[in-house]
Amino acid sequence: GAQRPEGEPTSQRLLVLGWSSKLPAILAEFASYTNERFIIDTVSTISAGERDRLAHRYGGDLGSLTLRHLEADYNHLPELQALEPWTYDRIILVGSGRAASEEDADARTLQGYLLLQDIFADRPEKPPILVELLEPENLGLLAGRPGETIISPMILSHSLAQVALRRELRGVFEELF
């Protein structure tokens, strides 16, 4: 392939399906990378204006990102197909913080994942998918399926427990997260 000039950042397109209060911090993390540029499209039924306001209020300076907030229901197959998810380098399914319960949030996330699998069934190019679940019991529903899964409440609780047991780890976790 073509080589990029020395020092020029690489560029990646990310599709983020869903919205939660954690997303502004994740966007800020992407914005902090100097050796990569990110073109990020967030997709949610929450208004684009509200998401933009929250992203900049809690994410800080996101100037290095190319950020678009698209209004769509990713659990509606025609709307998901219209996003052309196969054109992205990576896809992230975020557990919604606005669902009635963690079970409802995971149900929406899993439905979106299954729709993506249907869309990608006949395509040779399949971008990597990261799925955030909120309930550990739902992890088995993705067993043996392609993609990575994280259970964010478990990561947080394990981290807090480690800091409670060994206070000197606090600085390590602060740097990591």
Per residue in 39-61, pLDDT tens?
A: 999 999 999 999 999 888 887 88
Residue of 101, 90, 98, 85 whose CA lies nearest to 138: 101
Token couple for 112: 């979106």
CA distances from 20 to 6, 63, 122, 127 (A): 37, 20, 31, 22
pLDDT at 42: 95
Q: What residues have CB less than 8 Å from 110, skipping those under 6 apart?
A: 131, 133, 138, 141, 142
Parallel, antiparallel, or unpaired: how do β-strands 66-71 and 148-151 relate?
unpaired
Residue of 85, 87, 84, 105 whose CA lies nearest to 96: 105
pLDDT at 5: 53
Residues of the chain with pLDDT under 70: 1-9, 97-103, 135-167, 169-177
By three-state DSSP, how is residue 38 classified? strand
pLDDT at 155: 45
pLDDT at 107: 87
pLDDT at 71: 95
pLDDT at 74: 94
CA 115 to chain centre: 16
pLDDT at 158: 41
Q: Is the CB of residue 16 less than 8 Å from the CB of residue 43?
A: yes
Element (H, E) at 44: strand 36-44
pLDDT at 4: 46
pLDDT at 57: 87
CA distances from 45 to 33, 70, 77 (A): 28, 8, 14
Q: What residues have CB less than 8 Å from 22, skipping those under 6 apart?
A: 94, 97, 152
Give exposure, 45-69, as e/b (b: 16+ Cβ within 10 Å).
Answer: ebeeeebeebbbeebeebeebebeb
